[in-house]
Structure formats: C-alpha cells, structure tokens
Amino acid sequence: MSDPLAELLAALDLNDTHARTNEDIFIGQSQWSALGRVFGGQVLAQSLVAAQRTIVDARFVHSMHGYFLRPGNVELPITFSVDRIHDGRSFSTRRTQAYQDGLPILSMIASFQDVDEGLEHQVEMPTDLPQPEDLPNAAEALRGVDNPIAQSWATGRPFDMRHVPAPIFLSVDGPHVAHQAVWLKAIGTLPDDPNLHRAALAYASDYSILEPIFRRHGVAWATPGLKAASLDHAMWFHRFGRADEWLLYVEESPTATGGRGLSLGRIFSRDGVLLASVAQEGMVRVPKP
C-alpha cells in the first residue's frame, strides 16, 4: 500500500511465458487488498493487456465484454490465456481467460480495429457540476475512520476519486437518486503508452459503477451485511484520453431486480470529449431490516 500506482503498473506488466500451443500464455500478480480478493478492475485490465500483447501496434481496442466467474485470491498468481480468434483486414478479435488454481476467474472477449475515419457525433458532457478541486478526495472523506478497508480506500488506491454530490462510503446524504458522477485520475503520471492508458481506464471503470444502485436505495458501502459483486462488464472505447488527467465518470442505474442491478456509465475528458461507455450488471444483496 506504500505506492499504489507502482503496484498498479507492476500488476499490468504481465510476464510473457513465451509458451504457445493454440493460445498465448501470460502470468500476472495482484495488488494487495484488505479483503484478500482480487479487485475486478485489476483482472479486467490485465486480461485486456494480455490480449493487447497479441495485436499489431496499429490496432487499438474498441470494445471488451467480460464475465466475472469466481473471486480471485491476491496471494496467488493469475494465468492469462489468449485465443487469437480472428484477424481480419480491419478488425481483430481475442478471447482472454484468467485462471487461478486451474479454474477460470474471468472470461473476456475484446475487439480491436485499425484507426479509421467515419461519421462523428457524441452526447454532451454535463456542465453544471463542481470541479474536482472543489470536492474532497477519499482520504478527506474517510479521515478518522479506523478500519483497514476504509484506509485502503482512502490511501491505497492508484486513482484519486471525487464524488458528485458526495461519496457513499459511510452514509448516503442528499436525495436517493439512481445517478451520480465521479471525477477520477491516476494519482501520478503514467507512461505514455496509449494501451496502458486504455487498460488503466478499464481498471478504474469498475470502482464506482454499481454505486448509483446503492444511492437510489440509500445503501452505503458500510451497510452491515451488504453483499455486492460485479457479474459482467462491457466497455466501448470511443476516443483516446489519458488516465492520469481528470476524467468525469457519469453513472446511472436504469433498473435493479432479482438481487441484481444494472448500471451504465460514460467517461469524458475534462474538456468534454466522450472517451468511453460502460455497462455493468452486479449482484447486490441487502439484508432485510
């Protein structure tokens, strides 16, 4: 926890085993976690990195769809196998499976495309929100909370996250609505590799995407007995943006039912460029009063 950004970069620096039968094999390590479980965004980003390693430099990821199958153990390495499903004239498709103890913990398919020209439009970024400099960071929001999980959220994350209107770590203040926004950026400067920034964006996209569900029902992360887990995660990369500059993550939940909730998100650069769209369904179980 002494250098969260260095730990993130180390986790994304997969070891190429140079082994290949009908798949390419890579090995990755995990960041420390107070819960002992692998953060979903980490294994998602690592799976993307593994797939990127098998793609020619001219092609960049435009979409990825992953299913979280089992919780991962931070004490064990993760093996990533990449199936080169298709290489066409403009697009390439890869399937990445992440394994621990011989069992898959995540299955992902990603598609890559050559840089191309085409029609252009996008939705507008909200402009009536406070700026990140005017909002508290997680360390300020959790100051004085003597809990290992709270402290890891406060100082152990490689991203600075600032909620609009306020975080829901301990309580849900204000109206119980199914939407929120989060300013985020890496806590330090990242290398200039565009693929690394895309992987870091995928990593960060998993942090808060389920929170609109919680906010709508007045459920804070500290709610006793709350159980939440990502089930699947889809992401579309529209335009390039650096993950170490302020980004606005606009999130909303259209529905929750059957112990599951769906959240949708859009990620904008600070100057209003739509960089990515996100969809995730998660398990959300709240104990009855």
d(CA 85, CA 150): 42
d(CA 235, CA 264): 10
Residue type, 120: E
d(CA 181, CA 258): 25
Characterize 66-86 residue by residue with b for buried, 16 or more Cβ atoms within 10 angstroms of its Cβ, and e for exposed: bebeeebbbeeebbbbbbbee
List, by residue number, the catalytic residues. 206, 230, 280
Task: Find where tokens 């919780």 sit.
Answer: 71
Q: Where are the beta strands (DSSP E) in 151-259?
A: 159-164, 179-186, 227-237, 247-257
Burial status of residue 19 (CB atoms within 10 A of its CB: 0-12, 13-18, 19 or more) = exposed
Burial status of residue 9 (CB atoms within 10 A of its CB: 0-12, 13-18, 19 or more) = middle
Task: Find where tokens 């498709």 sit.
Answer: 93
DSSP state at residue 133: G
Q: Could you tell me the end-to-end alpha-carbon distance of the chain, in angstroms, rounded to an integer?
A: 36
d(CA 163, CA 161): 7
State both tokens at 43: 């294994």
